[in-house]
């Protein structure tokens, strides 16, 4: 095909006339010199060096050899007509992008973030109240798996679901290592969060200068916690845990100990007792007097709310002191004959001491100024097993709600620490079901705090002390049951490993390994029997049952902690300080800035 040209300047107009579709123009008459002027049009693709968005290459010249074809050597001019690039986010060419649910969701989240930034009040001391939520052992894989499970329990695919704290506007990461340990324990990590000072594994409320288990080294190395500062500043204070209230995480809010395992006097060596060290349970009871003796000029009223497990550490080792739901022949462990529950009631005669669901439910938060609840001999029940408690015990959500109702009666505000201790225990037992259901209950408790506090005056931080060797593996399709076997995208049957057997999405690097306990809801039953090593044929096993325990690679008496970073989620005054990757001790400093704890405490002392 040929086109007669009177001037090369008309190329663009001619190309437009031809539609710029890559086809040649119509034939023209012979030129005045007896040779045809030819034009070739060639489509160029997106990304071409001359037309980044694609277009047409137009070659022109004289057909000197009268072959009817414009050869390469006959090309005199090359021009391009390029498709216009997109210069604004609108128009039909962007419909597939801008009308997409994910795109709209992203815009909505960004808009909310901009609103949060505009309303940000960057002022020290803005927070009247501080609530620190600690999911013990709640690593990022635990958060992800729990989010999916919670969504699937609601009939969703699961992955798109959000836990309560997923919605918090600010987040970051905490490096969890202890001063002397690459993979940490709860004592050192919680001490860092509560005092702003990282310390060794296994010690509570003291600096790294001490030697673990050596009583004499603790003196002079005691740290001050955020809860103690709040107490001195005149705020109400509370501690909640589904573990024993003397366990490492809750203990780090109020106790000083060279050994996390000194929960009562029977746990202590004779030399430590002789040297004057005091067990953790006793320190909880003497918290008020200990503060006043340590800080001259202070006048505090002690802990206002204490709720958790661990009754055995407060009772004498005498069956006469057994409670109605004692599970041991002799419930108490104390060898000094002291009944610390009676001592607490004598110290606070108007306070309420409760041990079961009925007693808890009967507490009138408008009339009760102080509440002490010990709901189990040892740890409280797993959330999945809570209905089987002999006398009944409240959920973490119920305890959180009641604590806030009591603590917020103080016009000066409050400090509350809430621990979901049994997430950690579920993982140690190798039970993803146990750990994840407790994580979901934890998220419910966080939502209760959000619903029952004023975001303008309450800083809420959600984090973990450490993670676990808990993994999500394979390539399961969207919506595949998170507790189930891996079914690949586009498939309906479980994927098989190289050994010809199916495998689960969730698993553990180490631990006791596979257990098929059917409908058992107590994850700790998995400790019975030897560790089961090697792969198991799960073809006929219901891996989503409450009693299933995942396979593990390395046999151990129990599964272990892991050392990677954990998430920090925050909302309320000072929450914007939670960002990036931090030493875990930053959490104390965020709480201090938000509520101005140090300065308020100093002011109260002077």
Query: Using the 8-state DSSP alphabet, how is residue 400 labeled?
Result: H
Could you confirm whether 186 is annotated as catalytic? yes
Between the CA of residue 567 and those of 133, 140, 223, 564, 580, what are the distances in Å? Answer: 12, 7, 25, 10, 10
Query: Using the 8-state DSSP alphabet, how is residue 496 labeled?
Result: B
Let me know: does 435 contact 473? Beta carbons within 8 Å: no
- Spatial separation of the C-alpha atoms in residues 217 and 137, rounded to whole Å: 29
Query: 549: alpha, beta or left, given left = phi > 0 and alpha = psi -120 to 50?
Result: beta
Query: Using the 8-state DSSP alphabet, how is residue 84 labeled?
Result: P
> Does 583 appear as a known binding residue?
no
Catalytic entry in 141, 164, 171, 186:
186
* Encoded tokens for 567: 């998430």
> Does 561 appear as a known binding residue?
yes
- The angle, 0 to 180 degrees and rounded to 10, between the axes of the packed helices 186-195 and 586-595 is 30
* Encoded tokens for 278: 């005091």
Cα-flanking dihedrals φ and ψ of residue 141, to 5°?
Answer: -65, -30
> Does 389 appear as a known binding residue?
no
Centroid of chain to Cα 598: 27
Beta bridge partners, 268, equal none
- Spatial separation of the C-alpha atoms in residues 465 and 473, rounded to whole Å: 24
> Does 247 appear as a known binding residue?
yes
Query: Using the 8-state DSSP alphabet, how is residue 524 labeled?
Result: G
Query: 359: alpha, beta or left, given left = phi > 0 and alpha = psi -120 to 50?
Result: alpha
Between the CA of residue 290 and those of 11, 120, 294, 362, what are the distances in Å? Answer: 93, 38, 6, 31
> Does 419 appear as a known binding residue?
yes
Helix (H) or strand (E) holding 104: helix 101-118
* Encoded tokens for 354: 């409760």
> Does 466 appear as a known binding residue?
yes
Let me know: does 453 contact 175? Beta carbons within 8 Å: no
- Spatial separation of the C-alpha atoms in residues 606 and 588, rounded to whole Å: 23
> Does 465 appear as a known binding residue?
yes
> Does 549 appear as a known binding residue?
no
Cα-flanking dihedrals φ and ψ of residue 253, to 5°?
Answer: -80, -25
Let me know: does 600 contact 125? Beta carbons within 8 Å: yes
Q: Annotated binding residues, as ranges?
A: 136, 247, 249, 419, 424, 428, 465-466, 561
Q: Annotated binding residues for Zn(2+), as ranges?
A: 136, 424, 428, 465-466, 561
Q: Annotated binding residues for Mg(2+), as ranges?
A: 136, 247, 249, 419
Residues with catalytic function: 186
């Amino acid at each position: 095909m040929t086109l007669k040209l009177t001037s090369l300047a008309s190329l663009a107009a001619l190309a437009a006339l031809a539609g710029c579709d890559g086809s040649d123009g119509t034939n023209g008459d012979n030129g005045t010199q007896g040779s045809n002027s030819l034009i070739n049009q060639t489509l160029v693709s997106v990304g071409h060096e001359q037309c980044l968005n694609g277009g047409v290459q137009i070659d022109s010249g004289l057909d000197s050899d009268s072959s009817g074809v414009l050869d390469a050597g006959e090309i005199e001019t090359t021009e391009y007509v390029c498709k216009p690039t997109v210069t604004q986010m609108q128009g039909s060419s962007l419909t597939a992008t801008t009308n997409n649910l994910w795109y709209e969701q992203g815009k909505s989240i960004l808009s909310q973030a901009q609103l949060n930034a505009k309303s940000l009040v960057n002022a020290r001391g803005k927070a009247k109240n501080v609530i620190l939520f600690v999911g013990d052992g709640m690593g990022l894989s635990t958060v992800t798996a729990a989010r999916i499970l919670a969504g699937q329990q609601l009939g969703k695919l699961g992955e798109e679901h959000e836990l309560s704290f997923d919605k918090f506007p600010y987040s970051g990461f905490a490096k969890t290592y202890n001063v002397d340990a690459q993979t940490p324990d709860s004592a050192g990590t919680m001490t860092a969060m509560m005092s702003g000072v990282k310390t060794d594994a296994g010690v509570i409320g003291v600096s790294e200068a001490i030697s673990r288990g050596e009583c004499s080294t603790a003196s002079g190395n005691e740290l001050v916690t955020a809860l103690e500062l709040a107490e001195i500043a005149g705020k109400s204070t509370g501690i909640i845990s589904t573990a024993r209230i003397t366990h490492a995480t809750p203990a780090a809010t109020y106790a000083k100990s060279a050994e996390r395992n000194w929960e009562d006097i029977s746990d202590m060596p004779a030399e430590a007792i002789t040297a004057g060290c005091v067990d953790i349970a006793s320190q909880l009871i003497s918290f008020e007097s200990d503060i006043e003796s340590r800080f001259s000029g202070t006048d505090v009223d002690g802990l206002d709310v204490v709720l958790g497990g661990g009754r055995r550490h407060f009772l004498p080792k005498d069956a006469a002191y057994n409670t109605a739901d004692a599970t041991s022949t002799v419930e108490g462990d104390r060898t000094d004959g002291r009944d610390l529950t009676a001592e607490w009631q004598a110290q606070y005669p108007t306070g309420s001491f409760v041990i079961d669901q009925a007693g808890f439910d009967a507490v009138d938060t408008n009339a009760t100024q102080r509440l002490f609840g010990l709901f189990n001999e040892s740890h409280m029940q797993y959330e999945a097993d809570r209905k089987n408690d002999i006398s009944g015990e409240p959920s973490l959500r119920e305890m959180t709600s009641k604590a806030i109702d009591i603590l917020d009666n103080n016009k000066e505000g409050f400090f509350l620490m809430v621990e979901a201790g049994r997430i950690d225990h579920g993982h140690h037992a190798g039970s993803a079901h146990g750990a994840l259901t407790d994580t979901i209950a934890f998220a419910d408790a966080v939502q209760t705090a959000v619903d029952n506090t004023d975001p303008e005056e309450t800083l809420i931080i959600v984090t973990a002390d450490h993670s676990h060797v808990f993994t999500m593996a394979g390539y399961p399709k969207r919506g595949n049951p998170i507790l189930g076997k891996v079914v690949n995208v586009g498939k309906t049957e479980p994927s098989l490993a190289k050994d010809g057997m199916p495998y689960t999405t969730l698993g553990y690097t180490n631990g006791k390994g596979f257990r098929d306990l059917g409908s058992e809801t107590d994850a700790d039953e998995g400790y019975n029997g030897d560790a089961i090593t090697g792969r198991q044929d799960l073809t006929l096993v219901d891996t989503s049952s409450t009693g299933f325990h995942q396979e593990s690679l390395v046999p151990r008496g129990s599964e272990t902690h892991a050392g990677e970073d954990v998430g920090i989620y925050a909302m309320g005054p000072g929450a914007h300080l939670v960002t990036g990757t931090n030493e875990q001790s930053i959490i104390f400093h965020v709480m201090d800035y938000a509520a101005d704890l140090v300065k308020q405490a100093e002011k109260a002392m002077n």
